Structure 1
């Protein structure tokens, strides 16, 4: 589910800050809102996880804001929040990183292409 920074508009636009969350019950005590985890020195990557904060745009929630951008004939997910002008976080595409633990979302120069279907 996508929730834009300005929920009153009622539509999701490209290049707009938004929260991304799983709308189904997971059984986990953490929030299902996506967030950028702290830098992982063992892999030299930033990973995307759950446990983020919903709404309240600003420096305290900077890790929970993502964007959808047009990419070729589809879209891509991007971490490049604009809800805090003075916060210092990387801007990057989100792609898939695979290792012995499986596949995980991470900031990468190789974006994962996504398509949306109207429901």
Structure 2
């Protein structure tokens, strides 16, 4: 697999997207919580990590095969991976809330001359839907519908029978286009023959947590 990215500073990224203003906070009662129990803040950096030990590590971007460098897909690796930013479709929303439409972006620069925003793509040979980079940023509507994701709470039962942790799944079920026919699905992991763990729509969602990353946010 081929990687093609470099880390971008929050300051540089903010200059690229400075037209996204900050505003009133979202409903705190519906806020997604990080591993410390604190609400996720839009435009702050987080690692997306699996709930279960032994099910891979964080997320990065790689090519899907060895014959082509681009495009880059969202892949689970054994290491912490790259941090991401969450940008709600309402640019005035300060907190990341359950079920709201979000752009998800890696804190990196792609060498494929495309955005580092996530988008859902279709492999027309197999019909499988993968999460790749190159997604649109902002402008919710028909032309960008493939670039919007949601976060939903999942109920996880611990060894003692009690509900544990702030555990979530990422879902593709955007509401940014009222007349679009969207096939909703959970984001899980599809393992290729070579062992590469690609994010894709699957019957088994990847249960994740969000760990705050050090560094400045986009609104700094």
> What TM-score does the superposition give when structure 1 sets the normalisation length?
0.91
Tell me by how many angstroms 1:118 deviates: 4.0
- Residue 78 of structure 1 is matched in structure 2 by 171
Count of residues in correspondence between the two structures: 118
- Residue 66 of structure 1 is matched in structure 2 by 149
* 1:94 is the counterpart of 2:187: yes
* 1:19 is the counterpart of 2:19: no
> Which of 49, 61, 64 is matched with 2:132 structurally?
49
**Corresponding residue SS for 1:86:** coil
How big is each residue's C-alpha offset from its partner over 1:33-79, in whole Å with a ceiling of 9 and x where there is no partner? 000113x2433311110001000000000000000000124000000
**Corresponding residue SS for 1:117:** strand
* Alpha-carbon distance in 1 for matches of 2:203, 2:155: 15
**Corresponding residue SS for 1:83:** coil
Bigger Rg over Cα: 2
Unaligned runs of 5+ in 1: none
* Alpha-carbon distance in 1 for matches of 2:110, 2:146: 21
Unaligned runs of 5+ in 2: 1-84, 157-166, 214-220
How big is each residue's C-alpha offset from its partner over 1:67-97, in whole Å with a ceiling of 9 and x where there is no partner? 0000124000000000001111210000000
- Residue 106 of structure 1 is matched in structure 2 by 200
* Alpha-carbon distance in 2 for matches of 1:88, 1:6: 22
* Alpha-carbon distance in 2 for matches of 1:118, 1:33: 19
RMSD: 1.4
* Alpha-carbon distance in 1 for matches of 2:93, 2:140: 16
Q: List structure 1 segments (4+ residues) > 4 angstroms apart after TM superposition.
A: none
**Corresponding residue SS for 2:106:** coil
In terms of fraction of residues, the more strand-rich structure is: 1
- Residue 87 of structure 2 is matched in structure 1 by 3
**Corresponding residue SS for 1:60:** helix
* Alpha-carbon distance in 1 for matches of 2:193, 2:182: 28
